[in-house]
Amino acid sequence: MKPIVFTITSQRALTIGNLLQSELFECASVAAKDTSSQPSADSLISDFGSVLFGVKGQSSFGFRLSFDGKTYQLSISPFATPSDWTGAIFFLKMLLAILEADSCQLRGMSYTVDTIDSFNFNSMVLNGISTIAKTLQENPQIQLDGVHRPIYINQLYFGQIVHVPDDQLLVGYDQRFKLTQQINAYYSEQQIFTIKSEEEEYVFPVNYLNSEVLTVLPAKSELTLENLRQFGDKKNLEARLFIINSAGNKLAEVPYNQFLESLSEGIFMLDAKYVVVEPFNSKLEQVLSPFR
């Protein structure tokens, strides 16, 4: 599916900072035209191929702005959530006001600051949901580009979103995708430890789980692409999970996959690739008892 693109005709050059006057928005990333382009508040939108904006704490996919010197284009993901659309419409209204433009255009229709509020985006959200469902019929897992990080979707994860009463579908779609981008948690990054013998060199991956805060972990331990390139020719030992507290002190070491499989509560899917483990410091001994 192609993005939905609103256009505004104007020759006025705006900076990133011009569009961040409202504390509602953030600049998430830029598509650079060359490697020397570094974004700042004073950077012109036209300095980049496009600039990805989002609503702080609300966006799942955001909205991408570009400018060719004559026309501004605001591109909205075909998978945008209701929160993405609400933010994009507010952004459009702000953009029209700053540019002192009369209207924006979409597929031959014109919208003013006053009429854009009546734009019905629910059908587009439903089209996006339908497209994901059809794509999953041919692919076991798909990846969408979120405003801050990728979103991984398979049938199990998607089923948790769509197998709800009709009046809860759009809300659930919004909330589940938003969580993948806006969750306030400790993101565990994989580290590689090596053990050398006279004949072989072994590697085992390690992740850290903070028992005092929400922790995001891969659902299954496997070498990241970067580590696979570097250590793919080495023999792998069983992945380990180091359980720590917020001070960084190591409390325990457990087998990675076995530990996650042992949790009957306090764990849920963030998406098809990652899980979230809830804090369990108050019942640490109970959680660790199978591995003592």
Whether residue 18 is found in the same domain as residue 120: yes
Could you list the residue range(s) of the whole structural domain that residue 278 is in? Answer: 186-291
> Over the stretch 254-264, which tens digit does the pLDDT of each residue have?
999 999 999 99
Whether residue 151 is found in the same domain as residue 222: no
Instruction: Find the mean pLDDT for residues 146-167.
Output: 97
Residue 184 CA to residue 214 CA, distance in Å, equals 8
Q: Which of 182, 214, 243 is the last residue of a domain?
A: 182
Instruction: Find the mean pLDDT for residues 207-232.
Output: 92
Q: Please, is 85 exposed, middle or buried when counting C-beta atoms within 10 Å of its C-beta (0-12, 13-18, 19+)?
A: buried
pLDDT band at 198 (very low <50, low <70, confident <90, very high): confident
pLDDT averaged over the chain?
A: 95
Residue 206's H or E segment, with its range, is: strand 201-210
Residue 248 CA to residue 159 CA, distance in Å, equals 37
pLDDT band at 32 (very low <50, low <70, confident <90, very high): confident
Q: Which of 234, 240, 244, 250 is nearest to 195 (CA)?
A: 234
Identify the pLDDT of residue 165.
97
Whether residue 109 is found in the same domain as residue 224: no
pLDDT at 291 over 90: no
Whether residue 164 is found in the same domain as residue 39: yes
- Tokens 């005709």 locate to 9
Identify the pLDDT of residue 201.
85
The number of CA neighbours under 13 Å toward the Cβ of 19 is 32
Whether residue 137 is found in the same domain as residue 59: yes
* % the chain with pLDDT above 90: 85
pLDDT at 185 over 80: yes
pLDDT at 33 over 90: no
pLDDT at 120 over 80: yes
Residue 169 sits at φ, ψ, to 5 deg, of -60, -55
What is the CA angle 166-84-144, rounded to 5?
A: 85
pLDDT band at 197 (very low <50, low <70, confident <90, very high): confident
pLDDT at 116 over 90: yes
Q: Which amino acid belongs to residue 51?
A: V
Instruction: Find the mean pLDDT for residues 220-229.
Output: 88
Q: Which of 182, 213, 230 is the last residue of a domain?
A: 182
Query: What region does 37 belong to: left with phi over 0, alpha with psi -120 to 50, or beta?
Result: beta
Q: Extract long-range pairs of 252-256: CB within 8 Å, 24+ residues apart.
A: 252/284, 252/288, 252/291, 254/288, 254/291, 255/291, 256/205, 256/207, 256/221
Instruction: Find the mean pLDDT for residues 187-205.
Output: 88
Whether residue 164 is found in the same domain as residue 99: yes
Instruction: Find the mean pLDDT for residues 114-143.
Output: 97
Identify the pLDDT of residue 40.
94
Q: Which amino acid belongs to residue 119?
A: F
> Over the stretch 76-114, which tens digit does the pLDDT of each residue have?
999 999 999 999 999 999 999 999 999 999 999 999 999
> Over the stretch 225-235, which tens digit does the pLDDT of each residue have?
888 888 878 88
Instruction: Find the mean pLDDT for residues 128-156.
Output: 98
Whether residue 31 is found in the same domain as residue 161: yes
Q: How many domains does the chain have?
A: 2
Whether residue 96 is found in the same domain as residue 136: yes
Query: What region does 44 belong to: left with phi over 0, alpha with psi -120 to 50, or beta?
Result: beta
